[in-house]
Structure 1
């Protein structure tokens, strides 16, 4: 990341570089079109496990910066090395220069200080800065170029350079940076082609992922979002397993499908499918205690699921073939 330092350089050299330089910001290519898809959902299995929850949280900060884009950007910046430094002084997972960090820093891990070498702090600061940059470059009203492409260019070269050139600046480093991240987005996304996800299924996954890190609350949650529950959930605002699924399906369907409130009833709704037919957005019911279907989760692809596990845990991703879950009776449903 160059940030504000490159912005000053861009303004200084704009007069000498405009002559004879071909602009790259005039058309949206196939990468840009793919990135613009609002159904884009994170493929958590591509993200190092210790960062999955923070990447999903960061992806909720603004619509312009989905979680898959944040993950792709981190790979390009530091290859997931939280101790990374650059010769010019950039630091941490997101490679912030000290001056830019001082302006945008977030103490996400709550330890009392914002540290660019702290992965939670770096990831959430990156999302905050990305969202600001997206609004900034949108204000330039540059036509025929995806806002996210311009945001990435501004992250690398500074927003002043984007404004000066009316698009992605003609710097080899910046052009390669933008192209690489757009290519990496596919790695960190649920691919509708490879995973067989329908548009509806991808929306179900995206709606559930919005609430990663939200506390489990027994009896809490519904189509309106997290709420206080009752009994052991009375003091916790969050979701339980069935309300998370209820919320995701309701909003993925645009309010047309409201599931029953309990997992026992949800496993009778929609269409029954086999394990081999499972695709992102489908539901997986479990018998945890040998009786009724007392738990339910959402399949997100790559043999992983997102769910609200139990009291004391948060909405999170787990492997469907882990010893605990694979040993429980399962049933599968599709709602759209």
Structure 2
């Protein structure tokens, strides 16, 4: 991490000009990389990543597994922004390695993760794992603080400028801070991560169901917001009935996003104008039930704590045993395994909306 004014790191200070040009010019893909479907690992679209990043893809997947709020794509995009995936790079401020750790910071988060008997910020595998641990700790701070913005964005800002700057500004520092270094650091990483997430969805087929999945897919990474979301896109939500709170803070009131049913409503709109709530969506489609063995992309899946009269969650079937949904406060729109995303005992069943 490159030293910033009063903080831990800075986005591009000390990074070679070639790396800066790559990042600011799009930071998305190796232009020579084949755009072939199926080149995926743990949610990473390897075809969109430069070769230097693909070499460490499995470690970014492993590191992201250290807390549920992290994704391999965010960590990999951060690795490109910090170092261009160069494990030997250093900065004038003393930051070194693929994750640009100051040795003093690495001492708090580093360990011999690859089992080679040694560790340090210039060991790329160990540094990537330490990067994930540090990010997880910053995400925990962000969730507790309840500042506006996604916790992952606040954590990135803390990694770059120091958590003290996030506290100072009550969120991601503005573009006026440090010549926009932190502001653009966060924006670039989030944009790159979106491009590096998952393989495409061209294999879903045609029809209203696959089209609904494609529409929802564009919102991957959008925050969950209780009561938020509309057919037009993410909106700020509200708190009520125990929903919208995180660590006692009403985060929905300043978070633009979706809840579970507004996401499915958004996905199917306008080919089918589903009602707003999960319970009403079930009632509107229950005449077309679908067994687990017959699921198709775009089908709606429902969960309840007390039969069909107490449905509390709805998701889209994505395909290949996965769902696309907005899980709960503190999470983002994501793709998850059907069998592990929600409590199996609370699964009610699936329906097929008619267009």
TM-score by length of 1: 0.48
Q: Specify which structure has the bigger relative contact order, considering alpha-carbon pairs within 8 angstroms and separated by 6 or more residues.
A: 1
After TM superposition, the score normalised by the length of structure 2 is 0.45
